[in-house]
Structures are given as C-alpha cells and as structure tokens.
C-alpha cells in the first residue's frame, strides 16, 4: 500500500483483524453487523463525512474480507446476506476477485482539465487563443473552461505561462496499465473483469479506499482449527515486512503460533523455478523460439494471455515458486492444506487453476497475515526463537526484488553452459511489461530472457505488502546473503528427481 495513504491502510487492516478475531474466537458471523459499531463507535465519523456511510462502507469491506460481494445501495440488504455460503473451512471464491465498493466510490472524473485560482487573467490569454473549440472564456476576472466543449487536447495546459491549468485523471484508472477501469451509469469506477489482471495497482491507488480484493482469512482460520494439518509457505519478500528489527526466524515462528503445522520458504520453489527455466531457456532459445519470458509473476502472465495472446508460447512453461513449494509439501503430506502467504493478489487466481488448485489450498497477503497477528495479539519482534532458516539459496531469496529472477536464471544457465552469453531485460511494473512485449513483438528482443514483474520494484512492491519498497529490498538482499547455498544447484533440500 502507499505508505502516505494512512487512513485507507488503517481501515483495510482493521477489517482483516476484525474477521480474523471473529474466526479465532468462534464469534458468530450473524453478529457481523455489531462489528461495524465495535470498529467505528460513537456518533462522530473518523474517516468519512458521516458515521452512517462510514459504517455502511466498512460493512461491505467486511463482507469482501469474508469472500462475499460488496453491494450497491440499490441491493444492500442485511449485512449477513449469504453468510452461510462462506462459513466453511475450505476455499471459497466467487468472482470477481477485485471490485469497487460502489458506496465508497466518489465518482472521480475520468479526465478533467480545469483552470485553478493561479490564473492571472493575463492580457495575452494564450489558453483561449490555442483552444480549437473556443471552450475557454473569461468570467469574473478569470478564465474558465466549458467542459461540454473541451476535447482534452491539452493545448491550453501547455500554453499557460502560470501553469494555472491542470489535467487530472481518475487515480485508479491512471494506475491501471491494462485499462481495465471503466465507468458505470453514475460515473463510478467499474472494473472490466475480462481485462483485469489482478495486479492490485488500483487497490493501492484509490485514495478513498473504494477498491478491494476478496480475502480467505476466515476460511484459513477455520481450516487451522480443523483436524487437518495446515502448512504455510511464505514468499521471499516476507523479510522485513513486520518490523525493521524483526528477524526472519521470528516471523516464521509467529506464523507457527497462528496454528500452522510448519512454515517453509517459497524460495525453495524459486530454486526449482530457476533450475527449470535455465534449462528451458538453453534448450529453446534461439533454436525453437526467439526469446523467453519468465513465469513467476501471475499478473504478468495474465497480461500476456489477455493482451498478447500470440506471444503466450514465448513465456516459460516452468511452474511458479509457489507451485513448486506446495508440491514439495503435498509430496510429504498429501492430506495437508497449504497456504501461500505473499505480496500478490493475483496468486489467489493462480491457485484456482488446474492442476494448481490440487496443491495450493489458500492464498493470503502480508496485510492479511498482519490482521491475524493483531487478532491474536502476536508481536513477531518480541518472540524468542533459536530456529535457523535454510530452505532457499541466495538467488532464490532474491526473487523478491526486481531483476532477481532473471539474474538467478542467467547465473544457473552459466553454470550449465559457461560459454553461453545471455542478454536480459526486466520490466519494472505492468506498464513497462506492456512496452517490453510490444518491442519483443517487433523483433527487438530476440535472444533475450525477459523478466516481467507487474509490481514496481518486484514482489517487494506488491499490493499486499506492509512496508515501503526500499526497506523491504534492503532486508531481502541481506537475508539472501545469509543463505547457506549460493546456487540452487547447492541446495540439498531439492530431491534429485525434482532437479530436471
């Protein structure tokens, strides 16, 4: 989340903690309405213009945390509507994953150009002179724009000597690199599901907290409380997420205290992805195809599939680190449940795919994990533990930062073929991913390994993270250097049969 959006972040995390607490303490979901009063007491609003709307919006957010749909004012009934369908200990998913809480949306203009009070009403009036539609006029000593005539050509913006004319857009739409944000009949934001790649950029960009994704917190807690064993697998970006001085081993122990049987680094699966992608690249490029894209970011893969379907064969066929790690758990514990914990929203969609859903039962973000810590009053930094972590190699742990995946694959490929020189390019954010693929389609990336990351900074910049990118990046790199294995080839946790 954007660290400066403090109130939005607070509301979001309050909801995660509320539902986690209700699940852990066995509180009836029929009391969900009371939770809006517990979280937002009194008569004075804290976040919105009045407490009634504040509670109504919070109630719809609680529903989404439970896995239910957020409703409009036209169809809002009891807050517990549909509760019986999600009060289970197995995965629940009713599409879409990401949607707009309509009663929270402020219907921001999609594209707006207007004159600010910085206008000096200058003699030259260059703004009016360049306007091709005569949309700019003088009134009360200041220039104004007739919005019905304005064609958004921005000539006036560029000509004003005082920078008094500004262009604004809808923050969620501006953040969406695949242009999935549209408008409904009331000009509220609406997400086009067939275009959306669940990168979460709109979730973090909305300053009103009007966009959210559905959670699986409640069902995860119920699974933990069931007789089945539940294992957590944690993405490489977990380091540094829960306090600058909190050690990775303390985070792992805190997760175990939530009721998980054990916790494994997804960096282990990253090592397997590295090994497979290195062999795949050496075997396929350039003899069978011109270039190859990495496979670990699911939003990147969805973007390719939806926007560049003819380039889909150029993406690696190797499984993602999440999948390889979950397979290792299921191989030893076939009846266990596996919960992936990471920075991504799109992993919730990846885990629904065949045959991945056989291995990954639930997906949580770090924000959702934080809500579980809050619910049980667990402070990771205060936990004493002498357990050492050594599931992944240095390069596997560095998957969390931009460029880390490509570096790992190239390093492994060099071990296999020291004479092979491989050029790489890593796209930082979905907008760069789109541009990189356009260049690849034009034949300008031949022979290269292309790393696609939907989030700026890599996984450490994911929408489900808790701390700023820079802090997490430093922590990840330091933790990577502490690995007992410098290469996936050194990792003795990988069975021989999984290495090829």
pLDDT of residue 111: 87
pLDDT of residue 495: 84
pLDDT of residue 410: 98
Taking only the tens place, the pLDDT of each residue in 441-467 is 999 999 999 999 999 999 999 999 999
Task: Provide mean pLDDT across the span 66-95.
Answer: 95
Residue 2 in this model has a pLDDT that exceeds 90: no
The answer regarding whether domain 111-169 maps to CATH 3.30.1360.70 reads no
Q: Are strands 362-365 and 189-191 parallel, antiparallel or unpaired?
A: unpaired
Closest residue by Cα to residue 97 from 127, 53, 64: 64
Taking only the tens place, the pLDDT of each residue in 144-182 is 999 999 999 999 999 999 999 999 999 999 999 999 999
CA distance 253 to 225: 18
Please indicate whether residue 499 or residue 253 has the higher confidence score (pLDDT).
253
Residue 253 in this model has a pLDDT that exceeds 80: yes
Q: Are strands 98-100 and 211-213 parallel, antiparallel or unpaired?
A: antiparallel
Q: Are strands 292-293 and 448-453 parallel, antiparallel or unpaired?
A: parallel
CA distance 239 to 266: 12
Confidence of residue 367 (pLDDT cuts 50, 70, 90): very high
Give, as one character, the DSSP assignment of residue 29. G
pLDDT of residue 76: 82
Top CATH class of 228-498 equals alpha beta
CB 491 within 8 A of CB 271: yes
Residue 347 in this model has a pLDDT that exceeds 70: yes
Helix/strand/coil for 498: helix
Residue 1 in this model has a pLDDT that exceeds 60: no
CA distance 407 to 424: 8
Residue 387 in this model has a pLDDT that exceeds 70: yes
Dihedral, CA of residue 35, residue 215, residue 371 and residue 236, to nearest 10: 180
CA distance 127 to 133: 11
Task: Provide mean pLDDT across the span 334-360.
Answer: 98
Confidence of residue 186 (pLDDT cuts 50, 70, 90): very high
CA distance 254 to 341: 13
Helix/strand/coil for 98: strand
Q: What is the percentage of the chain residues whose pLDDT exceeds 70?
A: 99
User: Half-sphere exposure (CA, 13 Å, Cβ side) for 417?
Assistant: 14
CB 409 within 8 A of CB 294: yes
Taking only the tens place, the pLDDT of each residue in 7-43 is 999 999 999 999 999 999 999 999 999 999 999 999 9
Q: Give every CB contact of residue 323 below 8 A, 6+ residues apart in sequence.
A: 269, 350, 356, 359, 360
Output the six-digit token pair for 280: 């795949």
Confidence of residue 496 (pLDDT cuts 50, 70, 90): confident
Output the six-digit token pair for 490: 């050194």
pLDDT of residue 468: 94
Count other C-beta atoms under 10 Å from residue 247's C-beta: 18
Taking only the tens place, the pLDDT of each residue in 408-418 is 999 999 999 99
Taking only the tens place, the pLDDT of each residue in 40-77 is 999 999 999 999 999 999 999 999 999 999 999 998 88
Closest residue by Cα to residue 62 from 13, 7, 8, 2: 13
């Amino acid at each position: 989340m954007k660290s400066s959006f403090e109130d939005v972040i607070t509301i979001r995390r309050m909801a995660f903690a509320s539902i986690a607490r209700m699940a852990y303490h066995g509180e009836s979901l029929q009391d969900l309405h009371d939770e809006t009063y517990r979280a937002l007491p009194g008569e004075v609003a804290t976040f919105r213009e009045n407490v009634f709307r504040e509670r109504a919006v919070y109630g719809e957010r609680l529903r989404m945390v439970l896995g239910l749909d957020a409703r409009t004012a036209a169809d809002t009934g009891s807050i517990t509507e549909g509760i019986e369908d999600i009060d289970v200990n197995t995965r629940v998913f009713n599409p879409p994953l990401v949607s707009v809480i309509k009663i929270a949306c402020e219907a921001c203009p999609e594209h707006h150009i207007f004159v600010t009070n910085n206008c000096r009403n200058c003699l030259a009036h260059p703004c009016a002179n360049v306007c091709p539609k005569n949309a700019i006029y003088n009134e009360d000593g200041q220039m104004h724009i007739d919005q019905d005539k304005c064609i958004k050509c921005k000539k006036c913006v560029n000509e004003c000597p005082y920078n008094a004319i500004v262009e604004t857009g809808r923050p969620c739409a501006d953040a969406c690199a695949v242009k999935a944000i549209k408008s409904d009949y009331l000009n509220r934001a609406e997400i086009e599901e067939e275009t959306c790649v669940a990168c979460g950029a709109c979730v973090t960009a909305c300053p009103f907290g009007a966009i959210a994704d559905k959670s699986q917190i409640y069902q995860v807690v119920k699974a933990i409380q069931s007789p089945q064993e539940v294992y957590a697998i944690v993405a490489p970006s977990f380091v540094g997420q829960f306090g600058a001085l909190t050690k990775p081993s303390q985070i792992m122990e805190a997760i175990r205290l939530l009721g998980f049987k054990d916790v494994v680094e997804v960096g282990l699966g990253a090592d397997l992805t590295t090994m497979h992608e290195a062999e795949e690249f050496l075997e396929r490029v350039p003899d069978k195809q011109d270039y190859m894209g990495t496979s670990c970011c699911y939003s990147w893969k969805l973007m390719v599939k939806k926007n560049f379907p003819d380039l889909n064969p150029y993406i690696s066929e190797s499984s993602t680190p999440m999948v390889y790690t979950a397979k290792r758990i299921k191989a030893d514990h076939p009846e266990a449940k596996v919960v992936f914990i990471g920075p991504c929203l799109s992993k919730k969609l990846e885990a629904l795919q065949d045959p991945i859903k056989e291995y990954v039962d639930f997906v949580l973000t770090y924000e959702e994990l934080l809500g579980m810590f809050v619910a049980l009053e667990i402070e990771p930094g205060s936990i004493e533990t002498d357990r050492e972590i050594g599931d992944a190699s240095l390069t596997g742990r560095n998957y969390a930062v931009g460029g880390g995946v490509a570096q790992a694959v190239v390093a492994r490929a060099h071990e296999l073929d020291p004479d092979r020189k491989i050029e790489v390019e890593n796209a930082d954010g979905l907008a760069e991913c789109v541009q990189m693929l356009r260049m690849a389609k034009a034949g300008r990336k031949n022979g290269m390994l292309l790393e696609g990351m939907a989030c700026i900074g890599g996984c450490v910049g994911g929408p489900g993270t808790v701390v700023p990118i820079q802090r997490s990046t430093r922590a990840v790199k330091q933790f990577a250097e502490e690995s007992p294995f410098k290469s996936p080839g050194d990792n003795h946790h990988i069975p021989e049969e999984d290495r090829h």
